[in-house]
C-alpha cells in the first residue's frame, strides 16, 4: 500500500467522516506511531443489496429442522 492509503490514527480521528465518505476501494491502513494497527475496507455491498442475495443460489435437501435421530423428550428415563 502506498502513503495515500496509510493514515495516522490522529488524522483518522480528526477526519473520520470525510475519510469514510471517500474511502478508496483498497481501504485505509491506520497507523499509530508509524506502525500499522488497523485496516478499514469498504463493505462489498450495501446492506439493502444483501437482502435476498442468496435466493436461488442453493437448494435445501431434506429436513433442516431435524437431526434425523428419533428421540422422546417426554419419556420418563426410569421406565
Please state which CATH number belongs to domain 3-43: 3.40.1620
What phi-psi label fits residue 50: left (phi over 0), alpha (psi between -120 and 50 degrees) or beta? alpha
Distance CA 27, CA 79 (A): 64
* Residue ranges of the chain whose pLDDT lies below 50: 1
pLDDT score for 3: 52
Burial label for 19, CB within 10 Å (0-12, 13-18, 19+), is middle
Percent of the chain with pLDDT over 90: 42
pLDDT score for 1: 47
What is the grid cell recorded at 21?
A: 465518505
pLDDT score for 4: 62
User: Which pTM does this prediction carry?
Assistant: 0.53
Q: What is the 3-state secondary structure (H, E, C) of 6-18?
A: EEEHHHHHHHHHH
pLDDT score for 37: 96
Amino acid at each position: 500500500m502506498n502513503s495515500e492509503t496509510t493514515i495516522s490514527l490522529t488524522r483518522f480521528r480528526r477526519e473520520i467522516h470525510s475519510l469514510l465518505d471517500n474511502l478508496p476501494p483498497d481501504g485505509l491502513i491506520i497507523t499509530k506511531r508509524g506502525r500499522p494497527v488497523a485496516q478499514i475496507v469498504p463493505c462489498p455491498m450495501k446492506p439493502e443489496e444483501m437482502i435476498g442475495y442468496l435466493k436461488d443460489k442453493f437448494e435445501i435437501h431434506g429436513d433442516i429442522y431435524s437431526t434425523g435421530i428419533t428421540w422422546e423428550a417426554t419419556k420418563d428415563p426410569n421406565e
